[in-house]
Amino acid sequence: MRLFSRDYCHLCHDMLAALEILRSEPDVPFFDIEVVDVDADPALEAKYDELVPVLVDGEGGELCHYFLDSAKVREYLNKV
């Protein structure tokens, strides 16, 4: 999964922390988290600017933004 984020964004830090907690749960399949700084790429900044944090699946489909939707993430992980 990919997390579009910003260094100074507290919601981004919160979502990453929530993902780490989710990842440590025994009933959740293992997943990687790639954190991408939207401010490092003008195209990403234009696309995600006010939506960050945005969590996308391996195919680029949006799973959630602003707050972790753990049910949706679990549903995605159980299909993969």
**pLDDT for 23-76, tens place per residue?**
999 999 999 999 999 999 999 999 999 999 999 998 999 999 999 999 999 999
Domain with residue 72: its CATH number is 3.40.30.10
Domain with 63, as residue range(s), is: 2-79
The count of domains in the chain is 1
Residue with the two structure tokens 């996308």: 56
Residue with the two structure tokens 């988290």: 33
Interatomic CA distance for residues 41 and 30, integer angstroms: 28
pTM above 0.85, yes or no: yes
